[in-house]
Amino acid sequence: MIMIICAIRQEAKPFLKNLENRRFENHSNKKVYHGTIDGISVMLCICGVGMKKAAITAQKLIKDFNLSHIIMSGTAGGINSKLKIGDTVVSEELVYHEGVSGIPILETSYRESERFKPGAELYEHVQRIIATDPPDHKVCFGRISTGKKFVQKRNFEAVARDFDPLCADMESTAVAQICKMHSVPFIAVRSISDTKEKSGVINFFRNVKLASNNSFVVVRKLLSSYISVLY
């Protein structure tokens, strides 16, 4: 079964809107939705904001459900200057730009220099589908970095210099690490809700709908064209 994880409800709204035959169950204080998108059976869970919530949720979902793949969808802050509001980044590599202290399930295997890769078949397929059937917005492939907080202007340059990510979020690398520990193929699709020039919570909420919709568009293309591998 394919699990889609979003951090917040705003990011999940496009999926919920298009989830047919929808039902849900309560699982470890989270709602897990079941249904189909374009005839493809999927599950959806909103993990909450931050590495700890994302890691714990992914761990429990993998333990309790027979998951074939996990896809992380949602928003991110643009770090690379070539990215604009609404552009989408697909994870070619995932790193931490802040440590994971306080999250025992990650601390045991965390290495600051470790890089996490998405599922190879997932990644290669997204590349193919975007090349042959591109959406009406820009999609880039590259590094996503994850930290405990929003990247603020005061540490923006340090994150850009030391980790060189296209974008940054607060969940994706934690989920990638859990997936690696359990050999579950993973990919992150994050669209830009704020940038260095348009930073802060105000800009995030101003652009979260656009970014969430654009991320959904890419994930939908992946789902509808990748049946043979996902199953």
pLDDT band at 93 (very low <50, low <70, confident <90, very high): very high
Instruction: Estimate the crossing angle of helix 51-64 against helix 172-182, to 10 degrees.
Output: 30
Distance separating alpha carbons of residues 83 and 168, to the nearest angstrom = 12
* Per-residue pLDDT at 52: 93
| Pure H helices in the chain | 9-18, 51-64, 104-107, 120-132, 153-163, 172-182, 201-225, 227-230
Q: Are strands 139-146 and 167-169 parallel, antiparallel or unpaired?
A: parallel
Q: Is 193 exposed, middle or buried (0-12, 13-18, 19+ CB in 10 A)?
A: buried
Residue 231 confidence (pLDDT)? 52
pLDDT tens for 2-27 read: 999 999 999 999 999 999 999 989 88
Task: Collect all residues with Cβ–Cβ distance below 8 Å to 100 and sequence separation of at least 6.
Answer: 51, 55, 106, 107, 110, 174
Q: How confident is the model at residue 227 (pLDDT cuts 50, 70, 90)?
A: low
Pick the CATH number of 2-230 from 3.40.50.920, 3.30.43.10, 3.40.50.1580, 3.40.50.300: 3.40.50.1580
Whole-number pLDDT of residue 57: 96
Residue 228 confidence (pLDDT): 53
pLDDT of 198-207, one tens digit each? 877 788 889 9
Cα separations in angstroms, 96 against 53, 66, 106, 119, 163: 15, 27, 11, 18, 8
Closest CA to 225 of 39, 59, 82, 3: 39
Summarize pLDDT for 29-50 with one digit per residue, the tens: 889 999 999 999 999 999 999 9
Element (H, E) at 41: strand 40-46
Task: Say if CB 72 and CB 10 are below 8 A apart.
Answer: no
* Secondary structure element (H or E) that encloses residue 31, with its range: strand 30-37
Contact at 8 Å (CB) between 199 and 155?
no
- Mean pLDDT over each residue of the chain, to the nearest integer: 90
Burial 9-39 (b: 16+ CB within 10 A, else e): ebbbbbbeeebeeeebeeeeebebbbbebee
Whether the predicted pLDDT of 230 surpasses 70:
no
Q: Would the pLDDT of 226 be above 90?
A: no
pLDDT of 94 strictly over 60: yes
* Range of lowest pLDDT (128-137, 156-165, 213-222): 156-165
**pLDDT attached to residue 113:** 64
| 97 vs 210, residue with greater confidence | 210
**Confidence (pLDDT) at 151:** 76
Band of pLDDT at residue 104, cut at 50, 70 and 90: confident
Work out the burial of residue 231: count CB atoms within 10 Å of its CB; fewer than 13 is exposed, 13-18 middle, 19 or more buried: exposed
Query: For residue 93, what is the enclosing H or E element?
Result: strand 88-96
Mean pLDDT is lowest, of 102-111, 116-125, 166-175, for: 102-111
Question: Which pLDDT value is given to residue 60?
Answer: 95
Residues 140-195: pLDDT tens digits? 999 999 998 877 666 788 888 889 999 999 999 999 999 999 999 999 999 999 98
pLDDT, mean of residues 90-109: 83
